[in-house]
């Protein structure tokens, strides 16, 4: 039969768009087109002997409990691994569950972590507050200069954690340079790749050992469910990452995995459209009299523009604006918008604007905020799927009200 010889039977020959619709599909006997949703917690076995072999790990691909093995979650993980170019992936209940697993699975008491200081709030909390409670010390560094990582490394440094671009000021960390430093000291590099997305930045190709996502963001991208993913080599994922997930249970639900797969089908379309609109908004607002600074990785005035061009294919979907007139002016802008909603979420079909100083970064001291660029006038815009002309008109109207 000629279908058997079709070169596209080889997943490696398929484009990401195709993988995100078909990758890892496991059809049931009903031959459903959409992916099957297995809402089941447990599995029964044909015999005691079979159960014994299964628990001994002698039956490959077998399922024994949905805390760590569910067919719907399997397909989602396989599709994410294909998108990322990773050997393996594990789904989690949320992005924070994924980040916490990626960090905790690789360290033990007495170890040391180096992390960039400009991090998503929850990630900073995990490395700065929680880990020291369990005997793992942390050094936070200004991530813009790789030398700062090199200087912070200690003989017991086991893990380096970075986010690039950072939330909310879109500073960059040189993934390749930091990977080399981490590996020279025998440490693993974990990259939170939410802001750049799997479409525009490939940390594993640049030397990262583990990549994490909040799937809540661009992967669902439609404001419906929480989810997280950790990706990397089979050795790390099927080893410590899987064991910690299995034994502590921050499991991605099958229902959420199914919703996230629906998100993956349109992920490239949505992220491309949102990125195109972001570039148009940046062009329209750059130089506006009421904005001190437009921050966008692929804007020439970005202090790390060359690095942005090198490690990110585009500037992605987020923009930071430093509004002239501080917090009062920033509030005026946000409160005058009609289409763009005030929300701290991101990567959504709806354009969302947030004032980090009074929301996501409220917990930090003013000194720490200013150190990471969170000024009183700073707002972060997550560009959605609305018409870019409407978004530009909305923002120009808001700026006029200041």
Ligand X SMILES: *Cc1c(COP(=O)(O)O)cnc(C)c1O
Q: Give the one residue of 226, 244, 294, 320 binding ligand X; rule: CB under 6 A.
A: 226
- The answer to whether 401 and 146 are in contact (CB under 8 A) is no
In whole angstroms, how close is the CB of 195 to ligand X at the nearest point? 6
In whole angstroms, how close is the CB of 272 to ligand X at the nearest point? 20
In whole angstroms, how close is the CB of 126 to ligand X at the nearest point? 10
- The answer to whether 67 and 40 are in contact (CB under 8 A) is no
DSSP for 210-259, written as a single string = EEEEETIIIII-SS----EEEEE-HHHIIIIIHHHHHHH--BPPHHHHHH
- Lateral strand order in the sheet of 188-192: 88-92, 228-232, 210-214, 188-192, 157-163, 112-116, 137-141
Q: Between helices 326-336 and 388-400, what is the axis angle to 10°?
A: 130
* CB closer to ligand X, 138 vs 394: 138
* CB closer to ligand X, 126 vs 329: 126
CB count in 10 Å sphere of residue 401: 12
Told to check if 217 binds ligand X by CB under 6 A, we report yes
* CB closer to ligand X, 64 vs 345: 345
In whole angstroms, how close is the CB of 166 to ligand X at the nearest point? 8
Told to check if 259 binds ligand X by CB under 6 A, we report no
**How many residues in the shown chain lie near ligand X by CB under 6 A?**
18
- The region of 211-219, 240-248, 271-279, 303-311 touching ligand X under the rule CB under 6 A is 211-219
Residue showing the smallest CB distance to ligand X in the complex: 95
* CB closer to ligand X, 202 vs 217: 217
Q: Give the one residue of 35, 192, 220, 348 binding ligand X; rule: CB under 6 A.
A: 192
* CB closer to ligand X, 153 vs 226: 226
- What pairs with residue 253 in β-bridges? none
What distances in angstroms separate CA 275 from CA 7, 268, 297, 386, one per listed residue? 32, 10, 12, 12
Nearest to 114 by CA among 147, 156, 159, 155: 159
* CB closer to ligand X, 153 vs 318: 318
**How far, in Å, CA of 330 to CA of 352, rounded?**
14
Q: Give the one residue of 83, 86, 99, 204 binding ligand X; rule: CB under 6 A.
A: 99
In whole angstroms, how close is the CB of 76 to ligand X at the nearest point? 15
- The answer to whether 222 and 385 are in contact (CB under 8 A) is no
* CB closer to ligand X, 91 vs 376: 91
What sign results for the dihedral spanned by CA atoms 312, 313, 318, 319?
positive
Told to check if 163 binds ligand X by CB under 6 A, we report yes
In whole angstroms, how close is the CB of 267 to ligand X at the nearest point? 16
Q: Give the one residue of 72, 148, 167, 354 binding ligand X; rule: CB under 6 A.
A: 167
Token representation of residue 66: 């949905």
- State the first-to-last Cα distance of the chain, in angstroms, to the nearest integer: 69
327 CB contacts (<8 Å, ≥6 apart)? Answer: 355, 357, 358, 376, 377
- The region of 18-26, 120-128, 146-154, 169-177 touching ligand X under the rule CB under 6 A is 120-128
Q: Give the one residue of 94, 105, 222, 251 binding ligand X; rule: CB under 6 A.
A: 94
**How far, in Å, CA of 356 to CA of 379, rounded?**
7
In whole angstroms, how close is the CB of 192 to ligand X at the nearest point? 5
In the block, tokens 């929301």 appear at 359
Q: Give the one residue of 107, 123, 170, 206 binding ligand X; rule: CB under 6 A.
A: 123
In the block, tokens 């750049």 appear at 196
**How far, in Å, CA of 65 to CA of 398, rounded?**
52
Told to check if 214 binds ligand X by CB under 6 A, we report yes
Token representation of residue 285: 């607002």
Q: Give the one residue of 24, 122, 207, 326 binding ligand X; rule: CB under 6 A.
A: 122
**How far, in Å, CA of 56 to CA of 95, rounded?**
31
Binding mask 307-346 for ligand X (x = CB under 6 A): ---------------------------------------x
* CB closer to ligand X, 122 vs 207: 122
- The region of 65-73, 93-101, 319-327, 368-376 touching ligand X under the rule CB under 6 A is 93-101
Residues that bind ligand X (CB under 6 A): 94-96, 99, 120, 122-123, 163, 167, 192, 194-195, 214, 216-217, 226, 228, 346
């Amino acid at each position: 039969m000629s279908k058997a010889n079709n070169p596209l039977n080889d997943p490696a020959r398929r484009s990401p768009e195709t993988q995100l619709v078909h990758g890892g599909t496991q059809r049931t006997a009903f031959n459903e087109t959409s992916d099957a949703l297995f809402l089941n917690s447990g599995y029964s076995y044909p015999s005691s002997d079979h159960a014994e072999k299964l628990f001994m790990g002698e039956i490959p691909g077998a399922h024994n409990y949905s805390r760590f093995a569910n067919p719907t979650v399997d397909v989602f993980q396989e599709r994410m691994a294909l998108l990322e170019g990773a050997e393996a992936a594990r789904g989690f209940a949320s992005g924070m569950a994924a980040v916490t697993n990626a960090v905790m699975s690789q360290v033990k008491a007495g170890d040391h972590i180096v992390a960039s200081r400009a991090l998503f709030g929850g990630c900073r909390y995990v490395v700065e507050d929680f880990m020291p409670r369990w005997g793992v010390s942390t050094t936070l560094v200004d991530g813009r200069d790789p030398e700062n990582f090199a200087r912070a490394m200690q003989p017991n440094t086991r893990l380096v954690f970075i986010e690039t671009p950072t939330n909310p000021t879109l500073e960059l960390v040189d993934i390749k340079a930091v990977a080399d430093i981490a590996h020279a000291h025998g440490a693993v590099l974990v990259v939170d790749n939410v802001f750049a997305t799997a479409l525009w930045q490939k940390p594993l190709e640049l030397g990262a050992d583990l990549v994490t996502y909040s799937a809540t963001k661009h992967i669902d991208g439609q404001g419906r469910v929480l989810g997280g993913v950790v990706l990397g080599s089979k050795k790390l994922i099927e080893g410590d990452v899987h064991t910690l997930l299995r034994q502590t249970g921050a499991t991605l639900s099958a229902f959420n995995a199914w919703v996230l797969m629906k998100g993956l089908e349109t992920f490239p379309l949505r992220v491309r459209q949102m990125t195109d609109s972001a570039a148009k908004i940046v062009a329209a607002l750059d130089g506006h009299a009421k904005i001190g600074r437009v921050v966008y990785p692929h804007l020439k005035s970005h202090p790390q523009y060359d690095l942005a061009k090198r490690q990110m294919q585009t500037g992605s979907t987020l923009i930071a604006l430093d509004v002239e007139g501080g917090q009062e002016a920033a509030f005026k802008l946000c409160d005058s918008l009609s289409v763009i909603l005030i929300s701290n979420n991101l990567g959504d079909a709806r354009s969302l604007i947030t004032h980090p100083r009074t929301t996501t970064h409220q917990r930090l001291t003013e000194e720490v905020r200013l150190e990471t660029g969170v000024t009183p006038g700073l707002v972060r815009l997550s560009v959605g799927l609305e018409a870019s002309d409407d978004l530009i008109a909305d923002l120009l109207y808001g700026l006029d009200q200041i």
